[in-house]
Structure 1
Amino acid sequence: MDSTVAPERRRAQLWVLTATHAANDFYTGAVAALLPFFVLHAHYSYAAVAGITLAATALSSIAQPGFGYLSDRYGLGWISLAGLLAAGAGVALSGFFSSSYIVVWVLIAMSGIGVAAYHPAATMQAREAGGGTTAAMSLFSVGGNAGVALAPAAAVAVVGAFGLRGTGLLIVPAVVLALAYFVVARHQLFRRVKPRDVAVAAHTDLRDDWRAFGWLTAVLATWSVAYVGTSTFVVLYCVARFHSTPDYASIALTVFPAAGAVGTLAGGWLSDRVGRLPVLRCGYLAGVGGIVAIVLAPSPLVVFVATGALGLALFAPFAGQITLAHSYLPNRIGVASGVTLGLTLSLGGVVSPLLGMIADGVGVRWVFVILAALLAVGFGTSFVLAERAPAQIEVVDVPGDAEAASATSVT
């Protein structure tokens, strides 16, 4: 970040970025919240709605590292706003075409690509604005939790009032927050940024550790399946097992990310003090317990409580996982962000159709048994990981092709 930018403006940028993150991830939550209505009103099967989850994530899983590479190579901060608007447009239009599964699939896929485009550039911007600390990253991350938490109530309200065509109103958060961030940080959105000098990057402490990053990605893959699987099936689980109405069951989709927001903030604070890996391991282990509690729950109310505990546990390591990825790939912050925030989250969506087939075949309850087992594997694999001190990262603003205007260090 340009050293001439005042601390007050940096804080303002971080807070507005956090709000745009809320708007962006609102659409991920909206997709999950709309699934029961596609089942009830458009008569989609469990496998079909799991396919919609796949649409929201599959292309995103491919595109996200690519957007991360572009963010590393060219800056292109404006991609974050373009992605936010695409994410909103896809979800907003989906309800108008519920009679055509293929069109809905394409629109949700467009939304997923928008979410993918947003994350790497926005994460790099948040890293600069917040000084690279885990606590600052947890604040940015919690915006995503807040957006996902607000989505079910908004989706239920618009569909309840206007039917599936009410999804058109869901475009409002994208437009409002995109405009707000453009006003606050337009100078950051349209500058070109290049990585620090390659000769500096050749220093031993600053080399990219792809092996460690690969192990971290494997751990995060189990997190992804647990997160996406819970988001996709917890409402359907309550409807199928306890005959809850979708409106009542959707409380779980509010509790899950709301508790996750608390976990993200607390986990970021703890990670800066006791270390990222202890928080990660405790979170994964507690997450296994939360999923087991969902499986054994005797009532929807207990499911809601257990889902809240699961959200708290899963998101406690979230910001630490991002900064750990940055420390493993200090020269590829965009790629690290793209994989950590996108590819690993999307892997859960890729698995969702298989989970949907299992739910159709033997019941939704067995989906959560599988999720608990996978998260336990992630906990065990995490012991391969090691802490790595964050390196200083220089960001060079390039107003033209020939010369750099300024440079500053961000830890």
Structure 2
Amino acid sequence: MAGLVVLRAMAVAAPAVFSPILLKEEGNSGLVAAAAVALFQAAGMAGTLAAGWISDRTGRSAVLLFGSIAGPAGLLLFTALEGWIRFPFLALAGAATVSMHPVCMALVQETFPESRGLANALYLSTVFVVSSGAAVVVGVLGDGIGLHSAFVVSALITVLSVPLILALPEARRRR
């Protein structure tokens, strides 16, 4: 689970923290840059509501797999395209990656039913620390190789979570 948290954090940190800078560097207005963050977060909120309901019916692993594939795909397309056509892909990235957080939390609580409070506290503290570190890593990458390339690296790193999801206890039970 810790590996999944680390890899997911990269896909969330890039657009949540750095999409305004990327868009401003491309010559967009501050309003467009702010709207992009709002879009990413609003789509993440909607995705979270949908993912909880869907994961209760299809299983946690299915939703996590979708998020680990659709989120990076959305981020890659947002980075590759220009103009307004790219913003639906930013919304897809938000819906897919942000929605993974509560699904992971539910999975942690189901995995440790006798110690839900402790498990949840450990999970959340890991998320907070790793998310902060991921923002620093994306920032360093952005300074070194450019923000476009940092977004691509972040998306590709997130795809590495697929084998970790398949190794989760729930995924193994469903095979």
- TM-score (normalised: structure 2): 0.88
User: Pick from 225, 237, 248: which aligns with 2:22?
Assistant: 237
The residue that corresponds to 2:119 in the other structure is: 336
User: Pick from 160, 167, 173: which aligns with 1:384?
Assistant: 167
Change (3 A) 1:221 1:361: closer
The residue that corresponds to 2:139 in the other structure is: 356
The residue that corresponds to 2:152 in the other structure is: 369
The one-letter amino acid paired with 1:332 is S
Please tell me whether residue 223 in structure 1 is matched to residue 18 in structure 2.
Answer: no
**Using the alignment, how far apart are the partners of 1:303 and 1:336 within structure 2?**
38
Are the equivalent residues in 2 in contact too, given 1:276–1:317 (CA < 8 A)? no
User: Any idea what the Cα deviations from partners look like across 1:143-199, whole Å, max 9, x if unmatched?
Assistant: xxxxxxxxxxxxxxxxxxxxxxxxxxxxxxxxxxxxxxxxxxxxxxxxxxxxxxxxx
Are the equivalent residues in 2 in contact too, given 1:358–1:364 (CA < 8 A)? yes
Deviation at residue 223 of structure 1 after TM alignment? 0.9
Please tell me whether residue 309 in structure 1 is matched to residue 81 in structure 2.
Answer: no
Change (3 A) 1:323 1:282: same
More relative contact order, 1 or 2 (CA 8 Å, 6+ apart): 2
The residue that corresponds to 2:65 in the other structure is: 281
**Using the alignment, how far apart are the partners of 1:318 and 1:250 within structure 2?**
23
**Using the alignment, how far apart are the partners of 1:353 and 1:272 within structure 2?**
34
**Using the alignment, how far apart are the partners of 2:129 and 2:16 within structure 1?**
13
Are the equivalent residues in 2 in contact too, given 1:225–1:351 (CA < 8 A)? yes
**Using the alignment, how far apart are the partners of 1:246 and 1:275 within structure 2?**
40
The residue that corresponds to 2:54 in the other structure is: 270
Are the equivalent residues in 1 in contact too, given 2:55–2:103 (CA < 8 A)? yes
Percent of matched pairs sharing the same residue: 25
**Using the alignment, how far apart are the partners of 1:302 and 1:345 within structure 2?**
32
4+ residue stretches of structure 1 with deviation over 4 A? none
The one-letter amino acid paired with 1:237 is L
**Using the alignment, how far apart are the partners of 1:270 and 1:327 within structure 2?**
16
The residue that corresponds to 2:74 in the other structure is: 290
- Trace 1:172-211 onto structure 2 (pairs within 5 A): none
Gapped runs of 5+ residues in structure 2? none
**Using the alignment, how far apart are the partners of 2:122 and 2:36 within structure 1?**
27
Are the equivalent residues in 1 in contact too, given 2:13–2:138 (CA < 8 A)? no
SS at match of 2:45: helix
Deviation at residue 230 of structure 1 after TM alignment? 1.9
The one-letter amino acid paired with 2:142 is A
**Using the alignment, how far apart are the partners of 2:32 and 2:106 within structure 1?**
37
- Trace 1:12-411 onto structure 2 (pairs within 5 A): 216-240=1-25, 242-299=26-83, 301-387=84-170
Change (3 A) 1:283 1:267: same
The one-letter amino acid paired with 1:298 is E
Are the equivalent residues in 1 in contact too, given 2:75–2:151 (CA < 8 A)? yes
Deviation at residue 362 of structure 1 after TM alignment? 2.3
Gapped runs of 5+ residues in structure 1? 1-215, 389-411
Deviation at residue 314 of structure 1 after TM alignment? 1.3
Higher-helix-fraction structure: 2
Between structure 1 and structure 2, the one with the greater Rg is 1
Deviation at residue 317 of structure 1 after TM alignment? 3.2
**Using the alignment, how far apart are the partners of 1:231 and 1:255 within structure 2?**
10
Deviation at residue 332 of structure 1 after TM alignment? 2.6
Are the equivalent residues in 1 in contact too, given 2:44–2:91 (CA < 8 A)? yes
Change (3 A) 1:348 1:319: closer
Change (3 A) 1:252 1:218: same
